[in-house]
Structure 1
């Protein structure tokens, strides 16, 4: 890191300048930029939405991004299964979508320790009238988003994988900032997983 006693100033959480010239951009944790200066957090967000869009489209369901008002309530996307399913018509599902390279995989779970307490409290709230799940999309830990996707004339591969969990009625927390959540590795967010979620919502109202 560049360091000057005289006119060095920190203009933000990561940017250091001297005499209006950028000297250093600190790149620790999840606050990183790609090799061409792109904001990787924005890339991760868009990539995770693209992953979810692909799964929903292949399942034959509908998806819309939530409005700003709903986004402020912890809802990023809304998924619907058009038509009649059992005794229900057009069942709906809300989801909060996160994307990270900073997760630990055990034999049975994906461990994510960066979930904001505000988001956690929204996800565990039993007063939700439409079921809501957390979708966590994992991407490779590198600064080049173009390596997160491979394609040919035969196939499209998005790296790495998405997982889901319903946090309804999970215990409250005394944490003030972030909390760790564990998502079963069996809860892969794919076509079969999404169909199973909707089937359970139709049967008993919960994912």
Structure 2
């Protein structure tokens, strides 16, 4: 259920940013979804981005801190994220959520509210010798439509996704 909630979240964010989302069925590369931003014209290329989706009930991000820590449960998931890629690039998107499934969303006449949020981090080139590596996820990197638009712009300009 955690995965279903996160897919819905990132799909909604992508739609708001003018991108499509495709779920990757085979987990051969540690990739769960692909975001595609349409080309601005028929002569330009689309912009694509891969993402690995992870969720945790163990973290409540503190807005007064710079980051929270996320520990991979398997080394191979980390290894897929740190590869130096030419195209498409890849992000780790971590969703924090309550341990109580009933608290994940709230519905009012104004709409559906997803409690907590997703955060993104680029890990290309990061190293760790740990069997279960831990990474720092910046609190400022909330995954929303503005962030996805900015990320796609960086990809278009050939800029790195790591801070």
| Alignment TM-score > 0.5, same fold | yes
Secondary structure of the residue aligned to 1:129 is coil
Conservation of the 8 A alpha-carbon contact between 2:72 and 2:78: no
Q: From 144, 151, 154, give the equivalent of 1:190.
A: 144
The change in CA–CA distance for 1:105 and 1:146 in structure 2 (over 3 A counts) is closer
Conservation of the 8 A alpha-carbon contact between 2:60 and 2:96: no
TM-score normalised over the length of structure 2: 0.89
Q: In 2, distance between residues paired with 1:128 and 1:97?
A: 21
Q: In 2, distance between residues paired with 1:129 and 1:159?
A: 33
Secondary structure of the residue aligned to 2:119 is strand
Partner of 2:119: 163
Q: In 2, distance between residues paired with 1:66 and 1:132?
A: 13
Q: In 1, distance between residues paired with 2:16 and 2:70?
A: 27
TM-score normalised over the length of structure 1: 0.71
Partner of 2:37: 81
Unaligned 5+ residue runs, structure 2? none
1:179 paired with 2:127, answer no
Structure of higher CA gyration radius: 1
Conservation of the 8 A alpha-carbon contact between 1:103 and 1:113: no
Indicate the RMSD between aligned Cα atoms, in angstroms: 1.8
The change in CA–CA distance for 1:123 and 1:88 in structure 2 (over 3 A counts) is farther
Q: In 2, distance between residues paired with 1:122 and 1:89?
A: 25
